[in-house]
A and B are shown apart, each in its own frame.
Chain A
Amino acid sequence: QKEVEQDPGPLSVPEGAIVSLNCTYSNSAFQYFMWYRQYSRKGPELLMYTYSSGNKEDGRFTAQVDKSSKYISLFIRDSQPSDSATYLCAMNGSGNTGKLIFGQGTTLQVKP
């Protein structure tokens, strides 16, 4: 079983839709949860950073962590064509190395 599971998509939605992107994980020791956005031919950029459970909101983006279910989500409200990208979830690993573990990424296309 992979430590982090993320549906690669692609996910296609109309402009203005609410988008829900999700990751599940298996390691209950994970504490830090991140979402990175990667545009085509670019490197990932940090979008949201959360610690432990709960919600965090930044503009049209909301990150949600449910540690009891080992499930994290990223919601995008009023989605725009400029949101079209690949979204990577990431969380810190176990053990002394504390390696950041990434999901496979979900490709999102927002159609005008």
Chain B
Amino acid sequence: ETGVTQTPRHLVMGMTNKKSLKCEQHLGHNAMYWYKQSAKKPLELMFVYNFKEQTENNSVPSRFSPECPNSSHLFLHLHTLQPEDSALYLCASSHGRVAGNEKLFFGSGTQLSVL
């Protein structure tokens, strides 16, 4: 397995469900990211982890809860989501997190539908 792997690829959940998205990178990188991609909108940065420490939370609602147990794994725990949270959730990694000019390597994303 190489690159950045995300599971599941597709997820349908009700507003009262709790689910988790998983991301794993095999690139030896130290920084990992969660992005949200909605139709006809730019990518939105949600969270950044650098060396397992959360360094950024871009005003994301608390119904999204990230977890980074080590530099290779990243989770996004979801609970009581809203229909407007339906989107493609992308995980990315980079060698480090310095000043916003990092080269990002993305996974294929989890397409989330909230009913």
Contact = CB atoms under 8 A, between A and B. Distances in A.
Interface residues of A, number: 27
Closest 8 pairs between A and B when the two form their complex, measured CB to CB = A98-B100, A43-B106, A32-B101, A92-B100, A98-B99, A102-B43, A102-B42, A92-B101
Contact of B56 (A42, A44, A97): A97
A80 interface: no
B66 interface: no
B4 interface: yes
Contacts of B81: none
Given A43-B4, A92-B100, A93-B100, A99 B45 contact: yes
Among B4, B56, B99, B102, the one with the most A-chain Cβ atoms within 10 Å of its Cβ is: B99
Interface in B57-115: 58, 90, 92, 98-109
B42 A98 contact: no
B49 to A, nearest CB: 14
B42 A104 contact: yes
Interface string A36-71: 100001111110010100000000000000000000
B106 A44 contact: yes
A18 interface: no
Interface of A: 4, 8, 31-32, 34, 36, 41-46, 49, 51, 88, 90, 92-93, 97-105
Contacts of A88: 42-43
B105 A46 contact: yes
Given A44-B43, A44-B104, 11 more contacts: A31-B101, A36-B104, A41-B108, A45-B105, A51-B101, A88-B42, A98-B100, A100-B102, A100-B104, A102-B42, A104-B41
B51 to A, nearest CB: 17
12 contacts: A36-B104, A41-B108, A43-B108, A46-B104, A88-B42, A92-B101, A97-B100, A99-B45, A100-B45, A100-B102, A102-B42, A104-B42
